[in-house]
Structure 1
Amino acid sequence: MSDHGRGLLTQWEGFKTQVYDDGVGVATIGVGHALTGTEKTSGMLMIDGTQVPYVHGLTAIQVQGLLATDLHAYENAINEAVEVAVSQNQFDALVAFCFNIGINGFHGSSALKDLNNNVLNEVPDDMRKWNKAGGVFNQGLANRRENEIKLWLGQI
């Protein structure tokens, strides 16, 4: 993911040095890092190969390190699943989308199907379908999708 894409993702997810509720009951820290059961129990995060306590918060540098660690899985998921060439903006948009809906969600999405069928003009509408939280329309997610689409189209 480019620095530009990472900056937009940080803006959309938020940058928090303390644990917070993501709005649907998930304990989160940093830039959209959902704490795992092990992380909650241990009070530790793995950042750049080092165990870091987060109970009293993270530094800005630690948040950036955690984001970089987290992004590797999503970047790899895009690289492994997408079979056509995409621009840097499109790649960044896909990583942000996957980061938000999850790797399994992305793998099962019509966005990936249309991408791999080289029907790139359908991807924005495919992304718009992911606008619900708990089965209920969520304006925040709808806004997020529109921002990801603008990035996909190279408009931001």
Structure 2
Amino acid sequence: MKQIFDFLRKISGGRLTQKQVDAANTAIATASDTVISDMLGIAVDVMSVSKFGVDLICGFEGKRLVAYDDGVGVWTIGFGTTIYPNGIRVKKGDTCTEAQAKVYMAHDLKKFEQAVNDAVNVPLNQNQFDALVSLTYNIGTGAFKDSTLLKRLNAGDYQAAANQFDVWVKAGGKTMQGLVNRRKVEKELFGKALK
């Protein structure tokens, strides 16, 4: 996305009006990545989580068809969904079917895939991307975008970025064994490309 707006600023003389930004956002939202890439003559590399990555995230999140408190006061349902596709927050007493849980998961994944695609400026292999989306799915897009992990990664220091997975093991200020276990698996997956 950044590449597109950089290109648009360049061809418009350096600045975009709000109207131009809004029009570009609308065009981008309705066009496929291939069309945008072809139109602008730039590479827009957009990655998606692999089936292995989806299964990994589902395994970590577990499937719950009745809303539950995630341990820090956030109501969650399905495979870790906290906000429904319509923008409404999950609340106590909510239920869903397995089919609905899968729809919520697919919707959620797009947001987290996009966050990783937008924030990372260095090449990733599929394992690295899957590990980063799993992390982001768990800690949230804001935390990922502000993380030291992302800063190290975008500086090209993949090993220092991998080591940052170990930082994200607390919930409500307490180290959680489930998060320790999850980060270990994500870190190992991310590190497969380092060998």
| Shorter-chain TM-score tier | 0.7 to 0.9
- Look up the match of 1:110: 148
Q: Does the residue aligned with 1:118 lie in a helix, a strand or coil?
A: coil
Verify: 1:93 aligned to 2:131, yes or no: yes
Verify: 1:83 aligned to 2:116, yes or no: no
2:74 to 19, 22, 26: 26
Moved over 6 A (4+): none
Spell out the pairing of 1:1-150 with structure 2 (5 A cutoff).
1-35=49-83, 38-40=88-90, 55=94, 57-150=95-188
Residue 62 of structure 1: CA displacement? 1.4
> Which has the larger Rg?
2
Distance, in Å, in 2 between the alignment partners of 1:134 and 1:154 is: 31
TM-score of the two chains, using structure 2 as the length reference: 0.67
Distance, in Å, in 2 between the alignment partners of 1:102 and 1:143 is: 18
Consecutive unaligned residues of structure 2, counting only runs of 5 or more, are 1-48
1:96 alignment partner AA: S
- Percent identity over the alignment is 41
Consecutive unaligned residues of structure 1, counting only runs of 5 or more, are 44-53
- Look up the match of 2:21: none
Root-mean-square deviation (CA, aligned residues, Å) is 2.2
Q: Tell whether the 8 Å contact from 2:77 to 2:90 is kept in structure 1 after alignment.
A: no
Q: Tell whether the 8 Å contact from 2:78 to 2:101 is kept in structure 1 after alignment.
A: yes
- Look up the match of 1:50: none
TM-score of the two chains, using structure 1 as the length reference: 0.83
Residue 81 of structure 1: CA displacement? 0.6
Distance, in Å, in 2 between the alignment partners of 1:17 and 1:154 is: 34
Higher RCO by CA contacts (8 Å cutoff, separation 6 or greater):
1
Q: Does the residue aligned with 2:121 lie in a helix, a strand or coil?
A: coil
Distance, in Å, in 2 between the alignment partners of 1:23 and 1:35 is: 16
Q: Does the residue aligned with 2:96 lie in a helix, a strand or coil?
A: coil
Higher helix content, 1 or 2: 2
Q: Does the residue aligned with 1:17 lie in a helix, a strand or coil?
A: strand
